[in-house]
Structure 1
């Protein structure tokens, strides 16, 4: 169900649309993505609930409004949303203790809410957004499979699930003979975070996970935050977690390859993700059309074998 054969082989993340990015700009970005041949949109039922004045409805509602204003667009797009991480006022403790979770009642209520906000009877791709250790995996996997059987959901994935949980969920799905996760969405970029970096509920696609996926061709790796919020262009914004040992050598190699092609370092990152032996599909987040155009240009960038090897030799160890 991932739209990987379109002219734009990456996913457009819509996290800030309708909140940090205003309606007019959001529409302009979506229009440009569609015009270029982009076909996969990514949202969630809690974007951006953590910001003051937001409810978590904003991104899904904005997409529904854009589809309504653009006849034919819904039929062209693969729409993915995520459930499980929306705050539930009935659960005390604050984030992340108050997340709705992935119990059967929570899954069904969350999907009903997303479909209502999106104005759809069916969502193409549904991610379990975060792990829920309080709910047995059997319950979550079965509840998600029910939605596929009912035609409310097309395909399933998980995000921010560690390898142990992902592998166990695949095993449960096989035992129950129901659809399992066909994509896993984690943090991923060219630079590697320092060991034992705490990203909260977020999980990083590490070497072990990618080795597991290499032996499971039915499950695609999807990487969010590939451009580190523009830090490859503005090095003063580089998160401390990505400034550790080895980063300087990697950035030097990245800049070398970028200079050879006359492109930005961020464009090389996206091209590398798409052309590495085990592709990791980028989820690209932008707030302006110009930023999207830069990413679109990266889709046409071709790195040769020597450049790919040079980038890897510079210290990247996420080799399957």
Structure 2
């Protein structure tokens, strides 16, 4: 896996829709003031909450913040994704896909919305098996060669597809995917349980093996389970209803008390202890402040062993 120290990544999915611009600005300001660096967005965020029925609101909110804070671009790195933005409003089945033409058009629009000349990490948001992988790899490689994307990565892709894509990039002499983004948290669904979010792909042992062997960065989303660790009004989904969850949450409470930390902070510390960069969505300044404080929570090997035994 990537040898750099793991970082808290600010997830901005709801910025410009459920999170109004003034609140988004305050969260971004707090994130940077606390030493945060990476912002994670996507060109499709959040079309399901936008009256227009298409994405772009999150990127526009970040772009407005960058214009209002002239020095901010030098302080943050921006990751965005292409693949899922609807071509027909309110019609997710019309998603742009990962053809070369779609990728080039999407990145041009993202750069315009963000008001920047490059994206620090460009993600393929999900697989598109209607397009030859060679075409997708070539398009990402060309964008990297032109400097429009400094790095490229794959979100919600099977490990074997990432490995194949990296081989194709090597053959072509173009930039390869160097980062993975997948769903992961301390609690896990029952084996073979179907999660409600059909587009989500869970982090697997194969993904971690690939990351470790190839030196890839790993980012996790749904890191805090939509607030379910700390909010009684947001219970965990039914797929997580099993004895392992009960045991894990009991250990989580014990460890949080021992370390004078919150449940959320221990979960984030657990992810970072494994070399994973957790993405944390925030709708209030206090939430991102709490998340950033997780960097100071020190989990020992004994804590990790207790969690492993509980699961």
Q: TM-score range by the shorter chain?
A: over 0.9
- Match among 295, 306, 310 for residue 310 of structure 1: 306
Structure 1 CA distance for aligned equivalents of residues 57 and 166 of structure 2: 32
- Any residues of structure 2 matched to 1:268-279 within 5 Å, and which? 268-276=266-274, 279=275
SS at match of 2:16: coil
Which one is further off, 118-127 or 162-171?
162-171
- 2:56 corresponding residue in structure 1: 57
Tell me the CA shift for residue 242 of structure 1.
2.0
User: What are the equivalent positions in structure 2 for 1:271-290 lying under 5 Å apart?
Assistant: 271-276=269-274, 279-290=275-286
TM-score (norm 1): 0.91
2-structure distance, mates of 1:234, 1:4: 32
Would you say 1:225 and 2:225 are equivalent positions? no
Residue ranges of structure 2 left out of the alignment (5+ in a row): none
Distance 1:209 1:148 in 2: 24
Change (3 A) 1:136 1:11: same
The residue number in structure 2 matching 1:206 is 204
Contact 1:170 1:181 in 2 (8 A): yes
Q: Deviations over 1:9-42 (max 9, x none)?
A: 2111111111101111111100011111111111
CA 1:25–1:52: 2 relative to 1, 3 Å: closer
Bigger relative contact order, structure 1 or 2, given CA contacts below 8 A and separation 6+? 2
TM-score (norm 2): 0.94
1:169 maps onto 2:169 in alignment: no
Measure, in 1, the Cα distance between the counterparts of 2:49 and 2:15. 13
Aligned length: 306
Give distance in 2, aligned partners of 1:193 and 1:48: 26
**Offset at residue 80 of structure 1 (A):** 0.7
Shift of 1:151: 1.2
Residues 44 and 4 (structure 1), Cα distance of their counterparts in 2 relative to 1, 3 Å cut? farther
Asked if residue 132 in structure 1 is aligned to residue 131 in structure 2, the reply is no
Does the Cα contact within 8 Å between 2:36 and 2:292 map onto a contact in 1? Answer: no
How far apart are residue 208 of structure 1 and its match?
A: 2.2
Q: How far apart are the structure 2 equivalents of 1:212 and 1:102?
A: 23
**Cα separation, 1, equivalents of 2:100 and 2:231:** 44
**What per-residue deviation string (whole Å, max 9, x for no partner) do you get for residues 32-89 of structure 1?**
1111111111111010012251431110000010001012101111111100111112
Distance 1:9 1:76 in 2: 14
Check the 8 A contact 2:138/2:174 in 1, yes or no: yes
Partner of residue 83, structure 1 = 82
CA contact (8 A) 2:100 2:139 kept: yes
Using the alignment, how far apart are the partners of 1:4 and 1:68 within structure 2?
A: 30
* Residue 74 (str. 1) matches residue 73 (str. 2): yes
Query: Cα distance, 1:3 vs. partner?
Result: 12
CA contact (8 A) 2:34 2:289 kept: no
Matched, 1:39 2:37: yes
For 1:174 and 1:195, the matched residues in 2 are separated by: 35
Shift of 1:235: 4.5
CA contact (8 A) 1:11 1:40 kept: yes
1:172-187 alignment runs, 5 A limit: 172-187=168-183
Alignment check: 8 A CA contact 1:271 1:302 kept: yes
2:177 and 2:140 mapped to 1: Cα distance?
10
